[in-house]
Amino acid sequence: DTAVSQTPKYLVTQMGNDKSIKCEQNLGHDTMYWYKQDSKKFLKIMFSYNNKELIINETVPNRFSPKSPDKAHLNLHINSLELGDSAVYFCASSQVGGAYGYTFGSGTRLTVV
Amino acid sequence: KNEVEQSPQNLTAQEGEFITINCSYSVGISALHWLQQHPGGGIVSLFMLSSGKKKHGRLIATINIQEKHSSLHITASHPRDSAVYICAVFGPSQFYFGTGTSLTVIP
């Protein structure tokens, strides 16, 4: 009965590959997010998706693309992976745009070799 | 300059000590969150505040909207409190995160 679940937990892949990370929430929240946590543990928002509206952090390369088949899912696709993409990626969800509670997934550790 | 500043960056305490972590922010906000990230990596939301004070067990969070400042207090600290504590504010349409405070509680 996990509230926000991400898969896989660990992902090791070679440079240049394309990979996806899946995220599902069963909380009935209307907004989902992807965050990147770098080696210095700093969390940075990548995308938020609310009722079909996608807000993108302008610093995110266009090799990253979120895909939301429905309100409960927001998957992250990454094309042409680079070494600098190695990080922990967190999915999160909230209701009413984040001001009323926020639940994180357990994270996906991506290592690009 | 980061919109959310936390202090201290690192903190080591003896078991039983009273701990305070501070957060200052520069954007207008509708809510502030305190998050806890354990060494295993998972992130847990501890508190969401828009005014005043909240208490949960040994944890207390306060916010002063006028001064744009929040504090997280841990009373009677325990080694299992060792984690990174992150302040996050919900500003105009997005979240801003502090860089985190790494707390180590020594038995």
Partner B, chain A 48-87, Cβ-Cβ below 8 Å: 48, 55
* Whole-angstrom distance, CA of residue A3 vs CA of residue A58: 29
For residues B23 and B72, is the Cβ–Cβ distance under 8 A? yes
**Cα(A17)–Cα(A112) distance, integer angstroms:** 9
**pLDDT tens-digit map of A13-41:** 999 999 999 999 998 888 898 999 877 76
pLDDT band at A71 (very low <50, low <70, confident <90, very high): confident
Residue B97 tokens, joined: 């995160």
Ramachandran assignment for A30, one of left (phi > 0), alpha (psi -120 to 50 degrees), beta (any other):
alpha
Q: Which one-letter amino acid corresponds to residue B87?
A: C
- On average, the pLDDT of chain A sits at 87
Q: Please check whether residue A44 is in contact with residue B97, taking contact to mean a CB–CB distance below 8 angstroms.
A: yes
Asked whether the beta carbons of residue B97 and residue A44 sit closer than 8 angstroms, the reply is yes
User: Is A99's Cβ below 8 Å from some Cβ in B?
Assistant: yes
pLDDT at A110: 96
Sign of dihedral through CA atoms B40, B107, B85, B50?
A: positive
Give the distance from residue B31's alpha carbon to the nearest chain A alpha carbon, in angstroms: 6
CB contact under 8 A, A106 and B41: yes
Amino acid identity for residue A111 in this structure = T
Instruction: Answer positive or negative: Cα dihedral of B24, B26, B29, B35.
Output: negative
